Structure 1
Amino acid sequence: MDIETAFHTVGEFGPYQKRAVTVLVLAQVYMACQSMLIVLVGYTPEYRVEKQDGGSSGHRELQQHVIFTEDVDSIVTEWVLIRQQAYKVSLAGSLFFTGLLVGNVVFGPLSDRIGRRPVYLTGLFFEVMFGYLTALAPSYEVFAASRLLVGLMNGGIGLVCFVLTQEYVGKSYWAMTGTLTSMIFAVGIALFGALGYFVRPWRTLAMVANSSGVLFFLLSVTLPESPRWLYSQGQTERAEEVLRYMAVRNGSNATNLVLQRVGAAKPGGPVSRRGGVLQLAVHPVLRLRTMVLMYVWYCCSLVYYGLTLGASATSGSRFVNVAMYGLVELPAYPLCIYFINKSWAGRRKSMSSFLFLAGSACLCTTLIPENSGSLLSITSLALLGKLMVSAAFNIAYVYTSELYPTVIRNAGLGVCSMSCRVGGILAPFVPSMRALHASMPFTVFCLSGLSAGCLGLLLPETLNRPAADTLEELSGPSGSRVLENKALLYEEEKLKSNHK
């Protein structure tokens, strides 16, 4: 039997898979805390500088004369990162996102080559170690370097963790596990805001937030390798062992399960040598999909983070603001679960529609006066746009993993995530375009959402279609709709067998 039939026999989402997925999904809380750490530990309180004799002097002299008027313990108060040194707070955040970008590119292909489990466990272990280095950093330079390293690990294992949540279960549950991953990440952001309220000293906050990673690492040690990855690599016997283990833990009788032998990528074999990131540019089908998906991910990130900067710049408690930053995303995920599993919507139409709605919401903001007090204010429309782009972002994760074969899935996700990080890096510069015209930032977000929605319609639908495991399965009579062709062939074979 093939891998999909095996999952139907073993149980697509049995008790064992539920426990394994729960561990991986809850690990998103830890990753969210690391992602949002700089927001609270880099907080700049109000301060005043006493008059200095002899005029201006260096930073060391400034440290002796500055007085912080708020009772706040942060890296700003400890290392006096104000005035000419204030850029270092943003720099630490940028270094984290730079690490995310590099981690996406490096860890994706690596996990496709040596396996999901070793890359995930190694990355999580070192992220925890570097997280403690952040909390114990004796200087800003060590702190900044540790944030770069934490970002590197976070970006890599985030992708591998997402892929594992899908490859442990049957394809019909991919949308649900992908949505749960994104939802728990948003919950993690809100929980970090609450944690910051109760734990104020920045070193203690960094230590407590990082300690949850130790628990998730210990829980993850018992997780098996992905049976889909093993099968795609030609390691059929190991894949059978994992599936039989799942069957026993699920209470299934499929202990004599035997998979169909395939001539897939054995280490050092011809398919293995042709695999890797290069295939995303060389393979005609993958090239088209990667170009479209990279632009979609870039626009999702640009609009999401751009709107977040505008919508979250409100007065009030910083802890409440951080919590709301996560909670505002939660309504998007039930919408995703509902629409992407409907035959009349699916992945492709749902993602494009949410992008269209995000762009339309941004367009409407240009038609409303600045100080409008009505229900349809600029702030409410910006939050609506963020809600819509959050939904599109979540679908993009699920949809992308289904569009790439197993042997190159992490590499594809890594390249798409790289373009996503580029959008996140550029997003803070878009609001500065307000100097040209007040509506210019929202015009950029509008055009990005609408254009990405149009391009997304060029991709094939994957709902209820067989998933590709090897590159050979993408070789169909027509290029861009390979998964659809495969499904049609499957249906034709089924019809022929019925006529016999």
Structure 2
Amino acid sequence: MDLEEAYQVVGEFGPYQKRAIAGLVLIQVYMACQSMLIVLVGAVPQYQVEQKDGGSSGQPELQSVSFTDDVDSIVTEWFLIKQQAYKVNLAGSLFFAGVLVGNVVFGPLSDKIGRKPVFLTGLFFEVLFGYATALAPSYEVFAVSRLLVGLMNGGIGLVCFVLTQEYVGKSYWAMTGTLTNMTFAVGIALFAALGYYIRPWRDLATAANSPGILFFLLCVTLPESPRWLYSRGQTERAEEVLRYMALRNGKTVTNLTLRRVGTGKPGNRDDRGTGVLQLVTHPVLRWRTMVLMYVWYACSLVYYGLTLGASETSGSRYVNVAMYGLVELPAYPLCIYFINKHWAGRRKSMASFLCLAGSACLCTTLVPENTGALLSVTSLALLGKLMVSAAFNIVYVYTSELYPTVIRNAGLGVCSMSCRVGGILAPFVPSMRALHSSMPFTVFCLSGLTAGCLGLLLPETLNRPAAETLEELSNPACSRVLESKVHLYKDDQWKSNHK
């Protein structure tokens, strides 16, 4: 039988898969805390610089710095003010630079040697480097530790997302992917609450990092992805994992034999060429990757650009950080509803949300500054962020379905790399106000609209079987045969259940 048929027998989302997915989804809370750590530990309090006479003539004046706010951060410990103030932003940039590299390195690595070993190794070292952050004796050690934490965070984030989908049947991919992204947003709000009650920055860094130990211990017992094993030609091991899932799901499986594929055979062309290079040389993958890279870039540019604009408000920094995550939550029920409807699907939903985000940014250029709270630049910017958050969630799920299993992590890694480029450029867009006050939102508008239109050129993946090998992607006949088998099997199951 085919892999999708096997999941129908084993259980697409049985009790065992629910427990495994719950652990992987909750890891997003830990990863969100690491991503947002610099926002609170790098808080800059109000301060005063007093000039003091050096005493005798010829000596330079001494400066005394006094912080007027009761804040314990890396700024107050290492006096990162004035000429040293750039070091706070540098630490944040180093983290996201590490995330970018981790996206590129860990994706192909997990496609080559397996999901589980790469994921557990990355999680172990992220926890280790996280404690190095909390115990850093100097700024230099702190900055290097943030780079290394970002490297691990970016890598395991991709592998964790892929595992939440490869453990279940394809019909549940949208749900597990949405839960993963939604939990990350909740993690941002929880980190704000943690920071409110734990003020010393070293204690906060330790508390935010410690749950990683628990998650590591929980994930040690997870099996390797049966989809990855199957795509690499390790059919016997894939069958063992599927039987184990069936047993834990309370199902008795007497005859579970997967159809042998040629991916793992020596001399197979697809096996030798699997990797990042295939994203360039394979004609189908090359086109999809080019479009997806721009879509990911635009999502990141608009998302982080609007976030920076919406967060420029007075008030408690903890409330602002919490709103940074909570404003995204309404987007996820919208995603789950639309992407599973046959008249919308992945492609149209993603394109529509991107165009709506661009339209909201366009409207901000037409609304006067001093308007009511219901219709203002801030409310339209938040509406745009809500829309682009929905698009961002869909593009994660959609991308994983557009790439075959043998190269899925490599594809996600390259797309995430372009995503980080958009995030790096986003802070520079507001400076375009020097040219015209409407320029930043014009950039976000054009980015959202063009990405939405380009996304319509991609194929729909709703209710279609996931490709496991490059051969299935290149040969439409293989996909049609697999799809017809899955539909026939589902019809037989429906008839047997309604007799």
Residues 1:218 and 2:254 are matched in the alignment = no
Does the CA contact (< 8 Å) of 1:244 and 1:255 recur in 2? Answer: no
The equivalent residue for 1:486 is 479
The equivalent residue for 1:474 is 473
State the alpha-carbon separation in 2 of the partners of residues 266 and 313 from structure 1. 57
What do the CA deviations read for 1:187-210 (whole angstroms, capped 9, x no partner)?
000000000000000000000000
Q: Specify whether residues 255 and 191 from structure 1 end up closer, same or farther in structure 2 by C-alpha distance, changes over 3 A only.
A: farther
Does the CA contact (< 8 Å) of 2:193 and 2:318 recur in 1? Answer: yes
The equivalent residue for 1:307 is 306
The equivalent residue for 2:447 is 448
Q: How does 1:27-426 map to 2 (within 5 A)?
A: 27-53=27-53, 65-265=64-264, 270-426=269-425
- Read off the aligned partner of 2:16 and give its amino acid letter: Y
- Read off the aligned partner of 1:158 and give its amino acid letter: G
TM-fit CA distance, 1:263: 1.1
- Read off the aligned partner of 2:15 and give its amino acid letter: P
State the alpha-carbon separation in 1 of the partners of residues 173 and 143 from structure 2. 37
TM-fit CA distance, 1:53: 2.1
TM-fit CA distance, 1:410: 0.1
State the alpha-carbon separation in 1 of the partners of residues 485 and 221 from structure 2. 42
Q: Specify whether residues 255 and 322 from structure 1 end up closer, same or farther in structure 2 by C-alpha distance, changes over 3 A only.
A: farther
Residues 1:6 and 2:6 are matched in the alignment = yes
State the alpha-carbon separation in 1 of the partners of residues 266 and 415 from structure 2. 26
- Read off the aligned partner of 2:40 and give its amino acid letter: L
The equivalent residue for 1:462 is 461
- 270-279 vs 12-21, greater mean Cα deviation: 270-279
**Residue correspondences, number:** 485
Q: Specify whether residues 61 and 409 from structure 1 end up closer, same or farther in structure 2 by C-alpha distance, changes over 3 A only.
A: farther
State the alpha-carbon separation in 1 of the partners of residues 486 and 237 from structure 2. 30
Does the CA contact (< 8 Å) of 1:358 and 1:384 recur in 2? Answer: yes
State the alpha-carbon separation in 2 of the partners of residues 458 and 181 from structure 1. 27
State the alpha-carbon separation in 1 of the partners of residues 361 and 296 from structure 2. 18
Does the CA contact (< 8 Å) of 1:74 and 1:202 recur in 2? Answer: yes
- Read off the aligned partner of 1:32 and give its amino acid letter: A
- Read off the aligned partner of 1:34 and give its amino acid letter: Q
The equivalent residue for 1:17 is 17
- Read off the aligned partner of 1:36 and give its amino acid letter: M
Q: Tell me the SS of whatever aligns to 1:448.
A: helix
TM-fit CA distance, 1:163: 0.0
Q: Specify whether residues 383 and 95 from structure 1 end up closer, same or farther in structure 2 by C-alpha distance, changes over 3 A only.
A: same
Q: Tell me the SS of whatever aligns to 1:50.
A: strand
TM-fit CA distance, 1:258: 1.2
State the alpha-carbon separation in 2 of the partners of residues 267 and 216 from structure 1. 37
- Read off the aligned partner of 2:30 and give its amino acid letter: Y
State the alpha-carbon separation in 2 of the partners of residues 487 and 372 from structure 1. 55
Q: Tell me the SS of whatever aligns to 2:52.
A: coil
State the alpha-carbon separation in 1 of the partners of residues 141 and 225 from structure 2. 36
Q: Specify whether residues 491 and 267 from structure 1 end up closer, same or farther in structure 2 by C-alpha distance, changes over 3 A only.
A: closer
The equivalent residue for 2:495 is none
Q: TM-score, normalised by structure 1?
A: 0.94
- Read off the aligned partner of 2:4 and give its amino acid letter: E
- Read off the aligned partner of 2:70 and give its amino acid letter: D
Q: Specify whether residues 494 and 238 from structure 1 end up closer, same or farther in structure 2 by C-alpha distance, changes over 3 A only.
A: closer
What do the CA deviations read for 1:159-213 (whole angstroms, capped 9, x no partner)?
0000000000000000000000000000000000000000000000000000010
TM-fit CA distance, 1:266: 5.0
- Read off the aligned partner of 2:402 and give its amino acid letter: L
TM-fit CA distance, 1:52: 2.7
TM-fit CA distance, 1:155: 0.1
Q: Tell me the SS of whatever aligns to 1:315.
A: coil
Show structure 2 runs of 5+ residues with no match: 492-499
State the alpha-carbon separation in 2 of the partners of residues 307 and 383 from structure 1. 7
Does the CA contact (< 8 Å) of 1:235 and 1:266 recur in 2? Answer: no
Q: Specify whether residues 228 and 33 from structure 1 end up closer, same or farther in structure 2 by C-alpha distance, changes over 3 A only.
A: same
State the alpha-carbon separation in 2 of the partners of residues 444 and 186 from structure 1. 25
Does the CA contact (< 8 Å) of 2:54 and 2:61 recur in 1? Answer: no
Does the CA contact (< 8 Å) of 1:182 and 1:394 recur in 2? Answer: yes
What do the CA deviations read for 1:64-115 (whole angstroms, capped 9, x no partner)?
6100001110000000000000000000000000000000000000000000
Q: Tell me the SS of whatever aligns to 1:397.
A: helix
- Read off the aligned partner of 2:286 and give its amino acid letter: R
State the alpha-carbon separation in 2 of the partners of residues 219 and 327 from structure 1. 27
What do the CA deviations read for 1:30-77 (whole angstroms, capped 9, x no partner)?
00000000000000000001113259xxxx997x61000011100000
Q: TM-score, normalised by structure 2?
A: 0.94
What do the CA deviations read for 1:401-437 (whole angstroms, capped 9, x no partner)?
0000000000000000000000000000000000100
State the alpha-carbon separation in 1 of the partners of residues 418 and 111 from structure 2. 19
TM-fit CA distance, 1:256: 3.5
State the alpha-carbon separation in 1 of the partners of residues 487 and 379 from structure 2. 51
Show structure 1 runs of 5+ residues with no match: none
TM-fit CA distance, 1:488: 8.2
TM-fit CA distance, 1:486: 3.0
What do the CA deviations read for 1:449-478 (whole angstroms, capped 9, x no partner)?
00000000000000000110000111136x
Identity of aligned residues (%): 82
Q: Tell me the SS of whatever aligns to 1:100.
A: helix
Does the CA contact (< 8 Å) of 2:2 and 2:482 recur in 1? Answer: no
State the alpha-carbon separation in 2 of the partners of residues 184 and 53 from structure 1. 55
What do the CA deviations read for 1:380-415 (whole angstroms, capped 9, x no partner)?
000000000000000000000000000000000000
Does the CA contact (< 8 Å) of 1:73 and 1:201 recur in 2? Answer: yes
State the alpha-carbon separation in 2 of the partners of residues 464 and 374 from structure 1. 42
Q: Tell me the SS of whatever aligns to 1:370.
A: coil
Does the CA contact (< 8 Å) of 2:373 and 2:379 recur in 1? Answer: no
TM-fit CA distance, 1:262: 1.3
State the alpha-carbon separation in 2 of the partners of residues 445 and 486 from structure 1. 38
Does the CA contact (< 8 Å) of 1:247 and 1:255 recur in 2? Answer: no
Q: Tell me the SS of whatever aligns to 1:430.
A: helix
Does the CA contact (< 8 Å) of 1:186 and 1:326 recur in 2? Answer: yes
